[in-house]
Amino acid sequence: MKTKVILTLFVVFILGVTSSAYAQLIAGSPEEKAYTRIEGEQNPDARIALLLQFEKDFPQSRVLPDIYTMLMSIYQDKRDTAKAIDFGERVIKLDGENLTALLAVSRNLAIERKQIDKAIAYAQKAVETVTKLRTQPPPPQYTSEEQWKGYLDSMDQAAKSMLAYARSLKS
């Protein structure tokens, strides 16, 4: 059940990432065109190649956390935990409050029974981030205050569940 909740929230967040990433790109720029190609690609392996090329071509891009989040998601779908963790940690390095990455990496580390202290720290950071986000107005991709509150309530539940799970592995 916990896995299903976290996975569902992850999918919802990925959909929101797409719309917010476009807002950060200059229309008609090579970067925006490359991002549009990525969004249109349905084959996971071809999409990975496009994402990695984007990283190479635009190493200072403001949407790099979104690129890494997409790579993390693809590798999670492929059950390549090591690469999912790697790209999740790249997201966290660029955006230390990225709830999707914090929860996904925490979950993967906990499931693999690796670096349990780090899994706990990431889950704790997710809990703290949700608390902080509750004091801020909703981002533009949320059409209502209720939608934003619902998202935060779901993420809070997922973060607290992940934290409890990771802590249970420590004892």
What's the confidence (pLDDT) of residue 19? 45
Q: What is the mean pLDDT of the chain?
A: 88
Structure tokens at 36: 């549009």
Q: What are phi and psi of 25, to 5 degrees?
A: -105, 150
Instruction: Give the Cα separation of 150 and 171 in Å (integer).
Output: 32
pTM for the structure as a whole: 0.83
Q: Tell me the pLDDT tens digit for each residue of 38-71.
A: 999 999 999 999 999 999 999 999 999 999 999 9
**6, pLDDT greater than 90:** no
What's the confidence (pLDDT) of residue 8? 45
What 8-state DSSP symbol labels residue 25? S
Instruction: Give the Cα separation of 142 and 119 in Å (integer).
Output: 29
Domains: count for the chain? 1
CATH number for 119? 1.25.40.10
End-to-end CA distance of the chain: 22
Contact predicate 118/126, CB 8 Å: no
Location of structure tokens 């993390």: 72
Q: Tell me the pLDDT tens digit for each residue of 7-46.
A: 444 444 444 444 456 467 888 899 999 999 999 999 999 9
| Host domain of residue 44 | 2-170
